[in-house]
Amino acid sequence: MARLEHAIGEKVEAPFDDCICFPRNEQPFFGFEIEKEIATAVKCPSHGDRFRSDWTFVYASTWRRRTEGVRRERLSQQYQKAWLASFPADLRLAEEEADDDGTVYLRLGDGTRLLAFGLGWIKHRRKEAS
């Protein structure tokens, strides 16, 4: 395998039953940076890092975040396996909650509330400008 990797210049991933990597052509989508951080913390027992995480997070609109579940269902079984390794059914991202100041929280299936996106600084700036 090492000779093949050397010849083609990239890592060759052997199929392992315990592999929880995202397929190379089906990289994960995250609606918030906190989701990426959670998924990055989970390592594949066979390969270590499970997806390319060197990209910068860009804000995802509400409609895009809401439609992701439908898109995810159409992806491969390996993608489903990788996603569930990051977000098991009992800790799945259940819903978004927003405060009046624009701060968004994610409530997990077990009731845990995570800060996902904060716009509280806008409110603070408006008070300073007054």
Amino acid letter, residue 122: I
Residue 48: predicted pLDDT: 93
For 52-64, write each residue's pLDDT tens digit. Answer: 877 787 888 889 9
Return d(Cα 25, Cα 97) in angstroms, integer. 32
Reply yes or no on whether the pLDDT at 31 is more than 60.
yes
Reply yes or no on whether the pLDDT at 71 is more than 60.
yes
Q: 0.75 cut: is pTM over it?
A: no
Return d(Cα 112, Cα 80) in angstroms, integer. 23
Please report, for the chain, how many H helices and E strands are present, in that order.
5, 3
Cβ atoms of 104 and 32 closer than 8 Å = yes
Return d(Cα 28, Cα 92) in angstroms, integer. 15
| Tokens matching residue 120 | 């509280």
Reply yes or no on whether the pLDDT at 84 is more than 80.
yes
Reply yes or no on whether the pLDDT at 103 is more than 90.
no
Reply yes or no on whether the pLDDT at 89 is more than 60.
yes
Q: Can you name the residues that pair with 48 across neighbouring β-strands?
A: 44
Residue 120: predicted pLDDT: 56
